[in-house]
Protein backbone atom coordinates (compact mmCIF):
# COMPACT_ATOMS: atom_id res chain seq x y z
CA UNK A 1 0.00 0.00 0.00
CA UNK A 2 1.39 3.37 -1.04
CA UNK A 3 1.21 5.96 1.76
CA UNK A 4 -0.33 9.38 1.21
CA UNK A 5 1.94 12.38 0.76
CA UNK A 6 0.44 13.99 3.86
CA UNK A 7 1.87 11.12 5.89
CA UNK A 8 5.33 12.17 4.70
CA UNK A 9 4.67 15.79 5.65
CA UNK A 10 3.00 14.61 8.86
CA UNK A 11 6.19 12.80 9.81
CA UNK A 12 8.52 15.82 9.53
CA UNK A 13 6.00 18.36 10.86
CA UNK A 14 5.07 15.97 13.66
CA UNK A 15 8.74 15.65 14.58
CA UNK A 16 9.46 19.39 14.43
CA UNK A 17 6.44 20.38 16.51
CA UNK A 18 7.13 17.70 19.12
CA UNK A 19 10.73 18.87 19.24
CA UNK A 20 9.70 22.55 19.60
CA UNK A 21 7.21 21.77 22.37
CA UNK A 22 9.77 19.68 24.26
CA UNK A 23 12.69 22.05 23.62
CA UNK A 24 10.97 24.63 25.81
CA UNK A 25 11.40 22.43 28.90
CA UNK A 26 14.32 20.19 27.96
CA UNK A 27 16.09 19.04 31.11
CA UNK A 28 13.25 20.04 33.43
CA UNK A 29 12.26 17.76 36.30
CA UNK A 30 9.25 15.44 36.02
CA UNK A 31 7.24 17.69 38.35
CA UNK A 32 7.99 20.84 36.34
CA UNK A 33 7.30 19.06 33.06
CA UNK A 34 3.92 17.83 34.31
CA UNK A 35 3.00 21.38 35.30
CA UNK A 36 3.99 22.60 31.84
CA UNK A 37 1.80 19.95 30.22
CA UNK A 38 -1.20 20.68 32.45
CA UNK A 39 -0.91 24.48 32.56
CA UNK A 40 0.15 25.16 28.98
CA UNK A 41 -0.17 22.22 26.60
CA UNK A 42 -3.60 21.05 27.75
CA UNK A 43 -5.04 24.56 28.04
CA UNK A 44 -4.21 25.88 24.58
CA UNK A 45 -1.42 28.13 25.86
CA UNK A 46 1.59 26.35 24.33
CA UNK A 47 2.67 29.40 22.31
CA UNK A 48 3.02 31.46 25.51
CA UNK A 49 5.99 29.42 26.72
CA UNK A 50 9.27 29.75 24.82
CA UNK A 51 12.90 29.03 25.67
CA UNK A 52 14.88 32.24 25.91
CA UNK A 53 16.11 33.65 23.60
CA UNK A 54 14.01 31.51 21.25
CA UNK A 55 10.27 32.00 20.76
CA UNK A 56 7.84 29.10 20.73
CA UNK A 57 8.26 27.09 17.55
CA UNK A 58 12.04 26.86 17.44
CA UNK A 59 13.07 23.25 16.97
CA UNK A 60 16.46 21.84 17.89
CA UNK A 61 19.24 19.75 16.38
CA UNK A 62 17.02 16.66 16.52
CA UNK A 63 14.85 18.03 13.73
CA UNK A 64 17.57 19.99 11.99
CA UNK A 65 19.43 16.74 11.43
CA UNK A 66 16.28 14.90 10.34
CA UNK A 67 15.58 17.70 7.88
CA UNK A 68 19.16 17.52 6.56
CA UNK A 69 18.66 13.80 6.04
CA UNK A 70 15.61 14.45 3.85
CA UNK A 71 17.45 17.21 2.00
CA UNK A 72 20.27 14.77 1.26
CA UNK A 73 17.82 12.18 -0.08
CA UNK A 74 16.10 14.73 -2.29
CA UNK A 75 19.40 16.05 -3.64
CA UNK A 76 20.90 12.61 -4.32
CA UNK A 77 17.61 10.78 -5.05
CA UNK A 78 18.88 8.07 -2.74
CA UNK A 79 20.34 7.67 0.72
CA UNK A 80 24.02 8.60 0.48
CA UNK A 81 25.88 8.41 3.82
CA UNK A 82 28.82 10.42 2.44
CA UNK A 83 26.55 13.31 1.44
CA UNK A 84 24.67 13.15 4.73
CA UNK A 85 27.92 13.18 6.71
CA UNK A 86 28.98 16.30 4.82
CA UNK A 87 25.72 17.97 5.81
CA UNK A 88 26.19 17.06 9.46
CA UNK A 89 29.69 18.50 9.33
CA UNK A 90 28.52 21.74 7.72
CA UNK A 91 25.70 22.20 10.21
CA UNK A 92 28.29 22.35 12.98
CA UNK A 93 31.07 24.18 11.12
CA UNK A 94 28.66 26.91 10.07
CA UNK A 95 27.31 27.09 13.63
CA UNK A 96 23.74 26.57 12.54
CA UNK A 97 23.05 23.85 15.07
CA UNK A 98 20.56 24.58 17.87
CA UNK A 99 21.55 22.55 20.89
CA UNK A 100 23.63 19.44 20.39
CA UNK A 101 24.77 16.20 21.91
CA UNK A 102 28.41 15.73 22.84
CA UNK A 103 28.97 12.67 20.65
CA UNK A 104 27.37 14.25 17.58
CA UNK A 105 29.51 17.35 17.99
CA UNK A 106 32.68 15.29 18.43
CA UNK A 107 31.88 13.25 15.34
CA UNK A 108 31.27 16.43 13.33
CA UNK A 109 34.67 17.71 14.42
CA UNK A 110 36.25 14.43 13.33
CA UNK A 111 34.56 14.75 9.95
CA UNK A 112 35.94 18.28 9.62
CA UNK A 113 39.43 16.88 10.23
CA UNK A 114 39.05 14.62 7.20
CA UNK A 115 38.11 11.39 8.95
CA UNK A 116 35.75 9.33 6.79
CA UNK A 117 32.11 8.82 7.71
CA UNK A 118 32.79 5.13 8.32
CA UNK A 119 35.26 6.02 11.08
CA UNK A 120 33.92 9.30 12.45
CA UNK A 121 31.45 7.85 14.95
CA UNK A 122 32.16 7.91 18.68
CA UNK A 123 32.68 4.36 19.98
CA UNK A 124 31.13 2.55 22.93
CA UNK A 125 30.31 3.00 25.73
CA UNK A 126 28.86 6.30 24.51
CA UNK A 127 25.23 5.41 23.76
CA UNK A 128 23.18 8.57 23.45
CA UNK A 129 20.10 9.00 21.29
CA UNK A 130 21.70 11.23 18.63
CA UNK A 131 21.44 8.62 15.89
CA UNK A 132 17.84 7.70 16.73
CA UNK A 133 16.45 11.24 17.08
CA UNK A 134 17.08 11.97 13.38
CA UNK A 135 16.26 8.53 11.94
CA UNK A 136 12.54 8.87 11.20
CA UNK A 137 13.07 9.87 7.54
CA UNK A 138 14.78 6.54 6.87
CA UNK A 139 11.34 5.02 7.42
CA UNK A 140 10.00 7.24 4.65
CA UNK A 141 12.76 6.29 2.22
CA UNK A 142 12.59 2.52 2.80
CA UNK A 143 9.10 1.71 4.11
CA UNK A 144 8.84 -0.91 1.37
CA UNK A 145 12.20 -2.56 2.01
CA UNK A 146 13.03 -3.61 5.61
CA UNK A 147 16.46 -4.90 4.64
CA UNK A 148 17.50 -1.57 3.15
CA UNK A 149 15.88 0.28 6.06
CA UNK A 150 17.99 -1.61 8.58
CA UNK A 151 21.19 -0.97 6.63
CA UNK A 152 20.48 2.73 6.06
CA UNK A 153 19.41 3.34 9.67
CA UNK A 154 22.65 1.71 10.83
CA UNK A 155 24.80 3.63 8.34
CA UNK A 156 23.33 7.05 9.07
CA UNK A 157 23.68 6.32 12.77
CA UNK A 158 27.30 5.20 12.77
CA UNK A 159 28.38 8.51 11.25
CA UNK A 160 28.19 9.83 14.82
CA UNK A 161 27.58 6.84 17.10
CA UNK A 162 29.30 3.46 16.81
CA UNK A 163 27.66 1.69 19.74
CA UNK A 164 25.29 -1.01 18.37
CA UNK A 165 22.59 0.12 20.79
CA UNK A 166 22.53 3.45 18.97
CA UNK A 167 22.04 1.77 15.62
CA UNK A 168 19.30 -0.40 17.13
CA UNK A 169 17.57 2.76 18.36
CA UNK A 170 17.74 4.29 14.89
CA UNK A 171 16.26 1.10 13.43
CA UNK A 172 13.45 1.16 16.01
CA UNK A 173 12.40 4.73 15.19
CA UNK A 174 12.69 4.42 11.40
CA UNK A 175 11.09 0.99 11.54
CA UNK A 176 8.16 2.36 13.52
CA UNK A 177 7.62 5.04 10.86
CA UNK A 178 7.77 2.47 8.07
CA UNK A 179 5.16 0.26 9.75
CA UNK A 180 2.64 3.00 10.50
CA UNK A 181 2.91 4.39 6.97
CA UNK A 182 1.35 1.16 5.75
CA UNK A 183 -1.12 0.56 8.58
CA UNK A 184 -4.75 1.56 8.38
CA UNK A 185 -5.34 -0.05 11.76
CA UNK A 186 -2.39 -0.50 14.08
CA UNK A 187 -1.75 -3.99 15.47
CA UNK A 188 0.32 -3.24 18.57
CA UNK A 189 1.52 -6.80 19.07
CA UNK A 190 2.74 -7.13 15.51
CA UNK A 191 4.25 -3.63 15.66
CA UNK A 192 6.36 -4.46 18.73
CA UNK A 193 7.30 -7.88 17.39
CA UNK A 194 8.55 -6.43 14.10
CA UNK A 195 10.66 -3.79 15.82
CA UNK A 196 12.12 -6.36 18.20
CA UNK A 197 13.06 -8.58 15.28
CA UNK A 198 14.70 -5.79 13.31
CA UNK A 199 16.65 -4.30 16.23
CA UNK A 200 17.79 -7.75 17.29
CA UNK A 201 20.05 -7.78 14.24
CA UNK A 202 22.19 -5.13 15.95
CA UNK A 203 21.57 -5.56 19.69
CA UNK A 204 19.65 -8.38 21.33
CA UNK A 205 19.40 -6.49 24.62
CA UNK A 206 17.60 -3.60 22.95
CA UNK A 207 15.23 -6.05 21.28
CA UNK A 208 14.49 -7.66 24.61
CA UNK A 209 13.62 -4.32 26.20
CA UNK A 210 11.33 -3.46 23.28
CA UNK A 211 9.41 -6.66 23.96
CA UNK A 212 8.57 -5.41 27.46
CA UNK A 213 6.52 -2.58 26.01
CA UNK A 214 3.55 -4.94 25.87
CA UNK A 215 3.35 -5.05 29.66
CA UNK A 216 4.38 -1.41 30.21
CA UNK A 217 1.54 -0.17 28.01
CA UNK A 218 -0.95 -1.38 30.62
CA UNK A 219 0.57 1.09 33.12
CA UNK A 220 -0.18 4.78 33.49
CA UNK A 221 2.67 7.01 32.23
CA UNK A 222 4.06 7.93 35.64
CA UNK A 223 4.37 4.26 36.64
CA UNK A 224 5.64 3.13 33.23
CA UNK A 225 8.32 5.83 33.31
CA UNK A 226 9.87 4.32 36.45
CA UNK A 227 10.59 1.13 34.50
CA UNK A 228 11.39 2.61 31.11
CA UNK A 229 13.81 5.19 32.53
CA UNK A 230 15.97 2.31 33.79
CA UNK A 231 15.60 0.03 30.77
CA UNK A 232 18.87 -1.38 29.51
CA UNK A 233 20.91 0.06 32.37
CA UNK A 234 23.04 -1.88 34.83
CA UNK A 235 21.45 -2.09 38.31
CA UNK A 236 24.18 0.10 39.79
CA UNK A 237 24.08 2.71 37.01
CA UNK A 238 24.24 6.33 38.18
CA UNK A 239 23.42 9.17 35.76
CA UNK A 240 26.46 11.41 35.87
CA UNK A 241 24.93 14.48 34.24
CA UNK A 242 22.11 14.87 36.73
CA UNK A 243 19.24 14.14 34.33
CA UNK A 244 15.84 13.55 35.88
CA UNK A 245 13.06 11.74 34.05
CA UNK A 246 14.03 10.18 30.72
CA UNK A 247 17.74 10.64 30.03
CA UNK A 248 19.44 10.86 26.61
CA UNK A 249 20.42 7.18 26.91
CA UNK A 250 19.26 5.65 23.66
CA UNK A 251 17.33 2.65 24.98
CA UNK A 252 15.16 4.47 27.51
CA UNK A 253 14.49 7.50 25.32
CA UNK A 254 13.50 5.43 22.28
CA UNK A 255 11.29 3.18 24.40
CA UNK A 256 9.57 6.18 25.97
CA UNK A 257 8.89 7.69 22.57
CA UNK A 258 7.34 4.49 21.29
CA UNK A 259 5.37 4.02 24.52
CA UNK A 260 4.00 7.58 24.17
CA UNK A 261 2.80 6.86 20.65
CA UNK A 262 1.31 3.45 21.44
CA UNK A 263 -0.62 4.82 24.44
CA UNK A 264 -2.67 7.08 22.16
CA UNK A 265 -2.00 6.17 18.51
CA UNK A 266 -5.09 8.06 17.31
CA UNK A 267 -4.25 11.33 19.09
CA UNK A 268 -1.11 13.24 18.07
CA UNK A 269 -1.35 15.93 20.75
CA UNK A 270 -1.92 13.45 23.57
CA UNK A 271 1.14 11.53 22.37
CA UNK A 272 3.22 14.71 22.66
CA UNK A 273 1.83 15.48 26.11
CA UNK A 274 2.77 12.00 27.31
CA UNK A 275 6.26 12.24 25.84
CA UNK A 276 6.90 15.55 27.60
CA UNK A 277 5.15 14.88 30.91
CA UNK A 278 7.88 12.85 32.60
CA UNK A 279 10.74 15.31 32.13
CA UNK A 280 14.31 14.89 31.02
CA UNK A 281 15.36 14.82 27.36
CA UNK A 282 11.87 15.71 26.24
CA UNK A 283 12.69 17.57 23.04
CA UNK A 284 14.09 14.31 21.71
CA UNK A 285 11.40 11.98 23.06
CA UNK A 286 8.65 14.27 21.76
CA UNK A 287 10.41 14.63 18.41
CA UNK A 288 10.65 10.87 17.91
CA UNK A 289 7.11 10.20 19.16
CA UNK A 290 5.80 13.06 17.05
CA UNK A 291 7.45 11.74 13.90
CA UNK A 292 5.83 8.33 14.33
CA UNK A 293 2.42 9.79 15.19
CA UNK A 294 2.55 12.27 12.31
CA UNK A 295 3.47 9.54 9.86
CA UNK A 296 0.55 7.42 11.07
CA UNK A 297 -2.16 10.08 11.27
CA UNK A 298 -1.02 12.51 8.59
CA UNK A 299 -0.62 16.25 8.55
CA UNK A 300 -4.27 17.04 9.26
CA UNK A 301 -4.05 15.45 12.73
CA UNK A 302 -1.37 17.90 13.89
CA UNK A 303 -2.62 21.17 15.44
CA UNK A 304 -2.50 23.71 12.61
CA UNK A 305 -2.68 26.63 15.03
CA UNK A 306 0.76 25.56 16.30
CA UNK A 307 2.53 24.26 13.21
CA UNK A 308 2.73 27.68 11.62
CA UNK A 309 4.98 28.82 14.47
CA UNK A 310 7.66 26.32 13.43
CA UNK A 311 10.97 27.95 12.64
CA UNK A 312 14.69 27.42 12.52
CA UNK A 313 15.75 30.97 13.36
CA UNK A 314 13.39 32.43 10.75
CA UNK A 315 14.15 29.80 8.13
CA UNK A 316 12.69 26.39 7.33
CA UNK A 317 9.22 27.03 8.62
CA UNK A 318 6.02 25.09 8.01
CA UNK A 319 5.65 25.73 4.28
CA UNK A 320 9.27 24.92 3.44
CA UNK A 321 9.18 21.73 5.49
CA UNK A 322 5.97 20.53 3.84
CA UNK A 323 7.36 21.28 0.40
CA UNK A 324 10.50 19.28 1.22
CA UNK A 325 8.39 16.34 2.42
CA UNK A 326 6.30 16.41 -0.75
CA UNK A 327 9.44 16.41 -2.89
CA UNK A 328 10.69 13.38 -0.96
CA UNK A 329 7.33 11.68 -1.53
CA UNK A 330 7.48 12.43 -5.24
CA UNK A 331 10.95 10.91 -5.60
CA UNK A 332 10.01 7.82 -3.60
CA UNK A 333 6.81 7.33 -5.59
CA UNK A 334 8.68 7.60 -8.89
CA UNK A 335 11.19 5.00 -7.70
CA UNK A 336 8.43 2.57 -6.75
CA UNK A 337 6.73 3.08 -10.10
CA UNK A 338 10.02 2.71 -11.99
CA UNK A 339 10.02 6.24 -13.40
CA UNK A 340 13.61 7.43 -14.07
Distance CA 213, CA 256 (A): 9
What stretches in the chain show pLDDT beneath 70? 234-241, 340
CB atoms within 10 A of CB 147: 10
Task: Assign 3-class secondary structure to the chain.
Answer: CCCCHHHHHHHHHHHHHHHHHHHCCCCCCHHHHHHHHHHHHCCCCHHHCCECCECCCECCHHHHHHHHHHHHHHHHCCCCHHHHHHHHHHHHHCCCCCCCCHHHHHHHHHHHCCCCCCCCCECCCCCECCCCCCCHHHHHHCCCCHHHHHHHHHHHHHCCECCHHHHHHHHHHHHHHHHHHCCCCCCHHHHHHHHHHHHCCCCHHHHHHHHCHHHHCCCCHHHHHHHHCCCCCCCCCCCCCCCCCECCEHHHHHHHHHHHHHHCCCCHHHHHHHHHHCCECHHHHHHHHHHHHHHHHCHHHCCHHHHCCCECCCCCCHHHHHHHHHHHHHHHHHHHHCCC
pLDDT for position 140: 98
- Note whether residue 217 is domain-resident: yes
Report the number of distinct structural domains present in the chain: 1
- Note whether residue 320 is domain-resident: yes
- Note whether residue 199 is domain-resident: yes
Q: What CATH number does the domain containing 182 carry?
A: 1.10.4080.10
Task: Assess contact for 177 and 140: CB atoms under 8 A.
Answer: yes
pTM above 0.95, yes or no: yes
pLDDT for position 66: 98
pLDDT for position 237: 47
Which residues are CB-neighbours of 52 under 8 A, at least 6 positions away? none
Distance CA 292, CA 11 (A): 6
Strand partners, 249: 128
- Note whether residue 250 is domain-resident: yes
pLDDT for position 200: 95
Measured at the CA of 310, the angle between CA 258 and CA 166, to 5 degrees, comes to 35
- Note whether residue 340 is domain-resident: no
- Provide the residue range defining the domain that includes 33: 5-235+242-335
CB atoms within 10 A of CB 212: 15
Amino acid sequence: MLPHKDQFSGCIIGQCLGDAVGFTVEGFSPAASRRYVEDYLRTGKAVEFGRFPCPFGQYSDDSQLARELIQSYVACKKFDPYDYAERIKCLFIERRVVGFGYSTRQAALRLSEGISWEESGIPSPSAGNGSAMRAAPIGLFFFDNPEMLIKAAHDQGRITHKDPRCSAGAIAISGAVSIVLQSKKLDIGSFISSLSGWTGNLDSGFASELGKLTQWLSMQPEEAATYISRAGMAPDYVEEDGWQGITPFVISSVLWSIYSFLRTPEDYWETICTAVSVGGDVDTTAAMAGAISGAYLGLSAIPSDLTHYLTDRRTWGFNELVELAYRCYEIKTQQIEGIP
